[in-house]
Structure 1
Amino acid sequence: MPPRRSTRRRLLVMVLFLAQLLGIVSSLDALMSTRTAPGAVAWIVSLNTLPVVAVPAYWVFGRSKFQGYVIGRREDDNQLYRVLDDKMSLVTPFHVQPSPGGSQVRTMEQLAKMPMVGGNEVELLIDGDATFASILEGIRAAERYVLVQFYIVRDDELGRTLQQALIDKARQGLEVYFLYDEIGSYRLNGGYLAELSTAGVQVRRFHSTRGTGNRFQLNFRNHRKIVVTDGRFGWVGGLNVGDEYLGRDARVGAWRDTHLKMEGPATLCLQLSFVEDWHWATGEILTFNWQPVPAAGADIPILTLPSGPADRFETASLMVQHAIGSARERLWVSSPYFVPDEGVLAALKLAALRGVDVRVLIPERPDNILTYFAAYAFVAPLLEAGVQIHRYQEGFLHAKTMLIDRQASAVGTVNFDNRSFRLNFEVTSWVMDEGFADQMAAMFERDFARSRRMTGDEVADKPWWFRVASRAAYLGAPLL
């Protein structure tokens, strides 16, 4: 055998041996750290059967625990907690326990490590035009400071409008802070950010690869969308910053989404989530205004629940399971990505079986082909249990909302999928108010009228290749 060929063969053997060794080591890490049993099995099998491909994929996409992030609400042995605990104690006089629903709220408070507070006014914002008109008006009316955080920010017409509003406030002498996710906003060019910085806006990326153990990770995203002005007004929901969110992208078409505006003490809980994220990105502790200002003539209870991969528990998944389990009459859900984990899937079935009106609203065609196929694997058993699945027809549905019985409503950033439940930093605001629930119900009814209801025959009549693709996507659901 020629020496050169023999050398190449020895080198190949060494590479394969090293890959197999790394696969074994990575398998142990997956065994101990992957949060779901199916996810651990999927990674262990792939790491040992195809380590050359699976090992780098695992260390880039496979981890489910975010290292180093300090949660001031939960970790009382850190400086952030000590600073913010005194500030947040000012909200205590506004702490409320609505009835009915008291036990449900107490559980949510334990998950959030934040109280449900009264003294608030809320406004339901349907679709992009209403949402950004409200946000931009709020920014322009700000007198002290502006906090802006989005997962995706585009350098397009809407992005430039937001940019100019922030620049104007910075030039007026206000403190303006702009936080974006480095992966979600990877297309955002340096010129856009430089213009903000030059005008005096404090600009930071969330920096999800920062910290030991996170350096090679691309799997963690800060999916939150938060705007706060002066500690009095806050906005949260499903909309990012880009022309497509206003329905201006012909390829996407009409965009159906939901946001929430709040005024009152609950805004400070939303602000706390921003402060924790800013602390991770910069090491700085922002103080701002922590004096609660109740809304005039309104006393609506709101609970803000941030969640993410730095939590001790799977906060988002537990939140959803608890909400489903608490439903007695009605459970209506809207999500653009519907790949529920086993716990949520079982909770949905049980709710339907005990007679709850369970309806799930999803897009006709989501923008992710894997979740599109995977959803069909979940749909059949849900339909058999009595869950109604509605597919939205008039454009792309992106709203992340829930309506439970006659009082509890949720608007936020959490999708019904593994990524939101375990890998993303998310935030959800729960509103306990019958009047607001009526508005949510009317919104859902309009969406149902623009949707078609799926049937069991529709799933059963799919061709064999579609069913195979659906099952394959189902098996990969823990990794989606």
Structure 2
Amino acid sequence: MLDALAAVPWWQLLSIAWAIHIAGIVVWIVLQKRDPAATLSWIFALALLPVLGFLVFYLVGPQRIRRQRQRRLRSRNATQHGLPESQLDAHDGLPRLAFASGEFPPSSCTQVDFLQGGGSKFDHLLEAIASAEHHVHMEYYIFEPDDTGRLVRDALVARARAGVRVRLLLDGVGSARLGRRFLRPLREAGGEVAWFHSLRHGRIRRRPRINLRTHRKIAVIDGRIGFTGGVNICDDGNERLSTTAYHDLHVRMEGRVVHWLQQAFCEDWHYATRQAINGKGYWPELPPGPHLAQVVPSGPDTVWEPLHRLHVDAIARADRRVWLVTPYFVPTAAARMALTSAALRGLDVRLLVPRMSDSRLVTWCARSYYDELLDAGVRIFEFGPNMLHTKALLVDEEIALVGSANFDPRSFRLNFELSTLWCDRTIAARLAELVLADQQAAAELPRRRPHQPLRWRLAEAGARLLSPLL
């Protein structure tokens, strides 16, 4: 056998090995039944980079989490004690779609405050933490050991020392800079810290989930006050400490909808720690409010892509306007079709994006879609010089959506995201004022973009080829 192999020229052996490698890659990826464009992109990438491509795919390629369903249901049943039942039959359209795909029913708010900029967000968050009497639950993608991070950590330490139950859930990649030394005061005070898909404890035998992050920003104080949105805990999100801070939006809420922010946190905490959060103090009785609100979680543990469907369906239902704000605009085919169809129907369709995001690749990719959108009648505004980080959607006069999800495949399919949907004219009008002010501070692109130099056209075209992988 060995003699026969030795007689075969080396290049033939290499060709056979390469063919076997390609066949194995094709079977492996195709069986995942992913988007055809993304599937073909990964196949070609791995074929051209036999070793490096395999490592990249292994680390960051598309992976679907299959949470242990029974464990998740046990956690949900254990933590939903006392939650008010939904009046789902009273609602149709978007709330029903959000419930069917994301599993959280419509609820209500007694108070909603839009907090534009990190300065406003941190003022309200620190005030709420200082008022905590029973518990503080926080889940964040980015928590940096900078001035803002220390300010929030010290506030949590103070409440933990006062006997308040403090739980902090952090993403293993986004908050990777946090070390034990920074977190030690919180742990010594009695606070609990957990990691979502941690990279710190070496999973040699298990495939790393480096590409599946919790991008959620959740804070729940005493089960009565909730925060969510786009502002991370870092100086880059605090314009009072950094002149280049992101221009962002967060939400403070009170009312029964806070129960569902709590539910999202408890499920993620249970998933990360296998510890269920139970007890009456976590689910206080809250009065119904005048504003219909619905928490919409999304993640790779469901096949329905709730936030993707919600965006596309809301745009398709529009009768008068569609205003979209996103820092990363990499539309799927369905989302692009919905936007251009709305514009071709004569609706007021506007897109607000950063002049230059923190990823040149994403910026070039976004600009590759501009000509098609402008031709259809979409008005495009570029905000700068500070990076726009707001994620919001306004449809007609009553639909408003704010949260952590970008308008890209990563947020729709890979990240664990969370947004809040309001079907309320008052809330939508208040959000529209903020979005309109940002549009007026931005530069609107002409209906026909000036002719771009060849190098920029190549950059846009090349980035667009990679859009299924972004």
| TM-score normalized by the length of structure 1 | 0.90
235 and 97 in structure 1: CA distance in 2 versus 1, 3 angstrom threshold? farther
What's 2:169 paired with? 179
Following superposition, which runs of at least 4 residues in structure 1 exceed 4 angstroms of deviation? 12-20, 96-99, 208-214
Could you give the per-residue CA deviations for residues 324-367 of structure 1, whole angstroms, max 9, x where no partner exists? 11221111111100011111111111111122211110000100
2:301 is equivalent to residue 310 of structure 1: yes
2:258 is equivalent to residue 267 of structure 1: yes
Q: What 5-or-longer segments of structure 2 have no aligned partner?
A: 1-5
CA contact (8 A) 1:144 1:174 kept: yes
CA contact (8 A) 2:222 2:282 kept: no
Range with greater deviation from structure 2 (15-24 or 195-204):
15-24
What's 1:461 paired with? 451
Tell me the CA shift for residue 64 of structure 1: 3.5
2:377 is equivalent to residue 386 of structure 1: yes
Q: What 5-or-longer segments of structure 1 have no aligned partner?
A: 1-5
Could you give the per-residue CA deviations for residues 228-282 of structure 1, whole angstroms, max 9, x where no partner exists? 01111110000001111112576x7142110111111111111111111111211
92 and 402 in structure 1: CA distance in 2 versus 1, 3 angstrom threshold? same
CA contact (8 A) 2:78 2:278 kept: no
CA contact (8 A) 2:350 2:378 kept: yes
Tell me the CA shift for residue 183 of structure 1: 0.5
What's 1:354 paired with? 345
What's 1:69 paired with? 67
2:220 is equivalent to residue 228 of structure 1: yes
Which residue identity does 2:46 align to in structure 1? L
CA contact (8 A) 1:121 1:264 kept: yes
CA contact (8 A) 1:208 1:220 kept: no
CA contact (8 A) 2:349 2:379 kept: yes
2:320 is equivalent to residue 321 of structure 1: no
2:206 is equivalent to residue 202 of structure 1: no
Range with greater deviation from structure 2 (37-46 or 317-326):
317-326
CA contact (8 A) 1:253 1:395 kept: yes
425 and 214 in structure 1: CA distance in 2 versus 1, 3 angstrom threshold? farther
Which residue identity does 2:107 align to in structure 1? V
Which residue identity does 2:152 align to in structure 1? L
How far apart, CA to CA, are the structure 2 residues paired with 1:352 and 1:456? 13
What's 1:130 paired with? 120
How far apart, CA to CA, are the structure 2 residues paired with 1:162 and 1:17? 58
Tell me the CA shift for residue 20 of structure 1: 5.5
How far apart, CA to CA, are the structure 2 residues paired with 1:476 and 1:214? 28
CA contact (8 A) 1:118 1:265 kept: yes
What's 1:48 paired with? 47
How far apart, CA to CA, are the structure 2 residues paired with 1:324 and 1:212? 44
SS in 1 for 2:44: helix
1:377 to 361, 368, 383: 368
2:342 is equivalent to residue 344 of structure 1: no
CA contact (8 A) 1:223 1:425 kept: yes
SS in 1 for 2:143: coil
What's 2:3 paired with? none
Tell me the CA shift for residue 13 of structure 1: 8.8
What's 2:140 paired with? 150
SS in 1 for 2:137: strand
What's 1:159 paired with? 149
Q: Map 1:244-283 onto structure 2 (within 5 A).
A: 244-247=236-239, 253-283=244-274
CA contact (8 A) 1:148 1:227 kept: yes
Which residue identity does 2:261 align to in structure 1? L
Could you give the per-residue CA deviations for residues 397-421 of structure 1, whole angstroms, max 9, x where no partner exists? 0011111111111110000111111
292 and 201 in structure 1: CA distance in 2 versus 1, 3 angstrom threshold? closer
SS in 1 for 2:416: strand
How far apart, CA to CA, are the structure 2 residues paired with 1:207 and 1:88? 24
How far apart, CA to CA, are the structure 2 residues paired with 1:453 and 1:270? 36
How far apart, CA to CA, are the structure 1 residues paired with 2:94 and 2:204? 37
What's 2:28 paired with? 29
Range with greater deviation from structure 2 (183-192 or 48-57):
48-57
How far apart, CA to CA, are the structure 1 residues paired with 2:245 and 2:48? 44
2:425 is equivalent to residue 427 of structure 1: no
21 and 359 in structure 1: CA distance in 2 versus 1, 3 angstrom threshold? same
Could you give the per-residue CA deviations for residues 273-325 of structure 1, whole angstroms, max 9, x where no partner exists? 111111121111112445453358x4211100110111122222212111211
How far apart, CA to CA, are the structure 1 residues paired with 2:204 and 2:250? 35
293 and 55 in structure 1: CA distance in 2 versus 1, 3 angstrom threshold? same
Which residue identity does 1:134 align to in structure 2? H
CA contact (8 A) 2:230 2:250 kept: yes
Which residue identity does 1:388 align to in structure 2? R
How far apart, CA to CA, are the structure 1 residues paired with 2:331 and 2:166? 38
2:365 is equivalent to residue 365 of structure 1: no
Aligned length: 460
User: What is the CA RMSD across the aligned residues, in angstroms?
Assistant: 2.5
Could you give the per-residue CA deviations for residues 439-463 of structure 1, whole angstroms, max 9, x where no partner exists? 10110110011111112432x5111
SS in 2 for 1:240: coil
247 and 119 in structure 1: CA distance in 2 versus 1, 3 angstrom threshold? closer
CA contact (8 A) 2:319 2:347 kept: yes
CA contact (8 A) 1:24 1:47 kept: no
What's 1:3 paired with? none
260 and 214 in structure 1: CA distance in 2 versus 1, 3 angstrom threshold? farther
CA contact (8 A) 1:23 1:55 kept: no
How far apart, CA to CA, are the structure 1 residues paired with 2:295 and 2:81? 16
159 and 124 in structure 1: CA distance in 2 versus 1, 3 angstrom threshold? same
SS in 1 for 2:51: helix
How far apart, CA to CA, are the structure 1 residues paired with 2:152 and 2:178? 14
Identity across matched positions, percent: 32
How far apart, CA to CA, are the structure 1 residues paired with 2:226 and 2:89? 22
SS in 2 for 1:149: strand
CA contact (8 A) 2:197 2:213 kept: no
Which residue identity does 1:359 align to in structure 2? R
2:409 is equivalent to residue 418 of structure 1: yes
What's 1:218 paired with? 210
Range with greater deviation from structure 2 (88-97 or 24-33):
88-97
SS in 2 for 1:224: coil
How far apart, CA to CA, are the structure 1 residues paired with 2:401 and 2:259? 18
CA contact (8 A) 2:324 2:350 kept: yes
SS in 2 for 1:200: coil
